[in-house]
Structure 1
Amino acid sequence: MTAVAIAEAGREARRTALILAASQAIIGSAAPIAISVGGLAGHYLLGSDKSLATAPITGFNVGVALGALPAAAIIRRLGQRDGFMTGTIVTALGGLIATLALFQASFWLFAFGLLVIGIGGAFVQQFRFAAADNAPSEFKARAISFVLAGGIVTAILGPQIVIFTRELFAPVMFAGSFASILVLAAVGAAILSLLRIPPKATGKAEITDSDARPLSEIVTRPRFVAALFCAVGSYALMSFVMTGAPLAMVGCGLSTDDATLGISWHVMAMFAPSFFTGSLIYRFGAERIVATGLVLLVGCAVVALSGLALWQFWTALILLGLGWNFGFIGATAMVADSYRPSEKGKVQGFHDFVLFGSVAFASLMSGAVYNAWGWEMLNWIIFPVTVLCFVALGVLKMTSARPTSA
């Protein structure tokens, strides 16, 4: 490949990553809408027994997990651009169902609508892999970071949409917020239409490839196992602690505003480093960045267990967000290096199915663990999980000298 061709490939990879980041910022805003008001809307729809109020949020998380494998298969079949466009339709359908459910005061239809939004979110989760797949090796990690940096906009846009639309169709509360998801999906689809995916990167070219290994062979290799352990550990711990943090802050006598601002700092810490995490991975290696993320997660637990002052909650949440960023982006870069082009659909789908299934379980267990054993236990659990991740990285290091075919 000539120098001109290499430069052109780099420019095209940056263009693809920026388009995916912009679309992630718009379509991805459906997630904070669903999570921030899903429980409130569930509370609004239920009668005197409010014990299932957060079930719609669980439905959203389950939808992301259930949609992982079908989303990967559809993208592989249709190609990345058309597959992602299909995802915007699914997201819009979920927003429509949730909106109609609120007008009909149907709790279970609303929960189903959030599950469908979650399935649409499974397509959005594939954006980071698409950015890496269409980038030169030296730009893969930065491409992933670019896409996840769109989460900064998402963290701001989603809550603002809720604030301005929750009473749009009063007295039917929150219907406007979920109706806005249809607009987000349309704008996101328009942005995705600008994608120019090279033919060699589309799913259609992969179907006839004969060099693909069985999934069982790929997912048992040390590099993939370590990447999956660290991705699940980073993401599930983040969801587990973040979900319980507002309950703990309010339970300790802090205000709801204190809890909300703490989560805002946490979300910013999750996504703001994405502008340079990719460069750090390129310079120091994905494994070292993942290990740094795990250390930051341990730091979160240490600070949280040291006391119950406001600064301790906020500092712990910031460290939690930073740990997620380094751990998850680094692990994603490791996954992207563990398969051949002909294998990416099934490997990515399997990875996200396990990942978001674990995240859904973690979010479910957070409230139960907090109610049974308190805030301290949520943080003590960080230690054994991070130890398992470090063990996986250690095994990978010991086997890294062996030749691989990936």
Structure 2
Amino acid sequence: MNSSLTGNGRRNALVLSGLQALGGANPAVVVALGGLVGSQLAPSTEMATLPVSLFNIGLALGVLPAAFVMRQKGRRFGYVLGSLLGASGGMIAFYGIAIGSFLLFCLGTILAGLYASYVQSYRFAAADSVEGPLKPKAISWVMIGGLVAAVLATQVILHTSEIIPSLPFGGTFIAQAILALCALPLIAFLRNDPAVTHSTPAAQANASHGRPLLEIIKQPKFIVAVIAGTSSYSLMSFMMTASPLAMVGCGHSMRDSTLGIQWHILAMFGPSFFTGTLIRRFGKIAVTLSGLLLIALASVVALGGLSVEHFWISLILLGLGWNFGFIGATAMVTDCYRNEERNRVQAFNDFLVFGSVAISSFSSGQLLVTHGWDGINTWTFPIVGVVVIALMWLWFHERSQAGVAAD
């Protein structure tokens, strides 16, 4: 079987990778600067990370409406709408900084989160463009765009944060809006949009043959995949949200903090060059399991010291763990639904994932104030332990099922 992406599948993966590069800069800017701007505008230090939390809430709340819009109007229409929301969010956040309004700044990050609810579906759009064995590779191709996003977001922050001397970080959010608008011409190059289910009577009839959602989500593999995906993303968000404030609080510079986020995001998406190959070689469960163990290792390093190196190495390991854990879990989810069921299942999965991310980012700021950086990292271990047990159970369960089928 041909293991290379060809035709429209290849085209869509490349276009979606470019869109990921632009859209991926959106959360990087909010995470790197949201807490710092929040500390300047918020009425109390406990609310400093609220803009980042509201970004994740906007993402979680936007997942189901985004899926509905793309199901009715197609993915291209949805991605255009998402880019316009992202541009609006950047400009409103800038205006909030300009007039010193914490409320308006938070509104801007919510809109940025709604934009992200469309961006996060790029991986599924790529997977839906190819046959089953190539889905992990298509997902990985899209995630490679995050490498460009990491460098792009960092350079934008470093070169625009002081471009308006009287408004620190204000210029960065204008740049964020411009990047969102730059996605519009790329969207036109997408082909064979598979998300439209209302285009013909035949498509509508086919869509009606899907199983009830409850039947799908009761599958053991789906349950474990969601647990692994939500844990990988939530733990990553939990630590990443707190890290800029923790670094600045420990006396490190904003530049060191921003570069730490850059290395983290590079680590998040860099392995995507070979994650798909690793999944085909070792299996989805093994790759997902290794991701969770790397996240635990990140906390071990973070607990080992407060130097810039400790922060950076911890953030790099955290990014690597997220890549293996989240891509592996996403690939597991794609095994659990039929073609006509994908929109509902993908939206439900992402609602659970990003809902948990919103909760984790909100609690991150509170926990940092009350228990410090060590408290943030200590929470990692029991959560990773539960997920490792669930993945091992699934591995033995599938082996036993395969043995029964062979008999």
TM-score w.r.t. the length of structure 2 is 0.88
> For 1:390-401, what aligned pairs fall within 5 Å after superposition?
390-400=388-398
CA contact (8 A) 1:133 1:336 kept: no
My pick for the range that moved more, 220-229 or 27-36, is 27-36
Unaligned runs of 5+ in 1: none
1:343 to 341, 344, 364: 341
Task: Indicate the RMSD between aligned Cα atoms, in angstroms.
Answer: 2.6
1:354 to 341, 352, 359: 352
Partner of 1:320 in structure 2?
318
CA contact (8 A) 1:61 1:356 kept: yes
Structure 1 residue 243, shift from structure 2 partner: 2.7
CA distance in 2, matches of 1:253, 1:80: 45
The one-letter amino acid of 2:342's match is K
Structure 1 residue 254, shift from structure 2 partner: 5.0
Partner of 1:154 in structure 2?
149
Structure 1 residue 170, shift from structure 2 partner: 5.1
CA contact (8 A) 1:292 1:326 kept: yes
Partner of 1:116 in structure 2?
111
Structure 1 residue 16, shift from structure 2 partner: 0.7
Per-residue CA deviations over 1:165-198 (Å, capped at 9, x if unaligned) read 3445553444432233332222211101101125
Secondary structure at the aligned position of 1:374 is classed as: helix
Structure 1 residue 86, shift from structure 2 partner: 2.0
Partner of 1:366 in structure 2?
364
Partner of 2:82 in structure 1?
87
Secondary structure at the aligned position of 2:47 is classed as: coil
> For 1:3-402, what aligned pairs fall within 5 Å after superposition?
10-45=6-41, 49=44, 51-169=46-164, 171-197=166-192, 202-204=196-198, 207-208=204-205, 209-252=207-250, 254=252, 256-400=254-398, 402=401
CA distance in 1, matches of 2:373, 2:41: 29
TM-score w.r.t. the length of structure 1 is 0.89
Query: Are residues 265 and 167 of structure 1, via their aligned partners in 2, closer, same or farther at CA, if it must alter by over 3 Å?
Result: closer
Per-residue CA deviations over 1:307-345 (Å, capped at 9, x if unaligned) read 445544333222211111100111111111211121111
The one-letter amino acid of 2:30's match is A
Per-residue CA deviations over 1:51-89 (Å, capped at 9, x if unaligned) read 534322222111011101111111111122222222112
CA distance in 1, matches of 2:120, 2:76: 14
Partner of 2:405 in structure 1?
none
Query: Are residues 152 and 384 of structure 1, via their aligned partners in 2, closer, same or farther at CA, if it must alter by over 3 Å?
Result: same
Structure 1 residue 104, shift from structure 2 partner: 4.2
CA distance in 1, matches of 2:314, 2:13: 31
CA distance in 1, matches of 2:119, 2:173: 18
CA contact (8 A) 2:290 2:324 kept: yes
Structure 1 residue 385, shift from structure 2 partner: 0.9
CA contact (8 A) 2:20 2:146 kept: yes
Query: Are residues 256 and 365 of structure 1, via their aligned partners in 2, closer, same or farther at CA, if it must alter by over 3 Å?
Result: same
CA contact (8 A) 2:93 2:173 kept: yes
Secondary structure at the aligned position of 1:338 is classed as: coil
Secondary structure at the aligned position of 2:209 is classed as: coil
CA distance in 2, matches of 1:36, 1:121: 16
Per-residue CA deviations over 1:180-229 (Å, capped at 9, x if unaligned) read 3332222211101101125x554436543222112122112111111111
CA contact (8 A) 1:75 1:203 kept: no
Report percent identity of matched pairs.
44
Structure 1 residue 142, shift from structure 2 partner: 1.0
Query: Are residues 317 and 180 of structure 1, via their aligned partners in 2, closer, same or farther at CA, if it must alter by over 3 Å?
Result: closer
CA distance in 2, matches of 1:303, 1:269: 16
CA contact (8 A) 1:207 1:342 kept: no
Query: Are residues 259 and 201 of structure 1, via their aligned partners in 2, closer, same or farther at CA, if it must alter by over 3 Å?
Result: closer
The one-letter amino acid of 1:29's match is A
Secondary structure at the aligned position of 2:192 is classed as: coil
Secondary structure at the aligned position of 2:208 is classed as: coil
Query: Are residues 144 and 254 of structure 1, via their aligned partners in 2, closer, same or farther at CA, if it must alter by over 3 Å?
Result: same
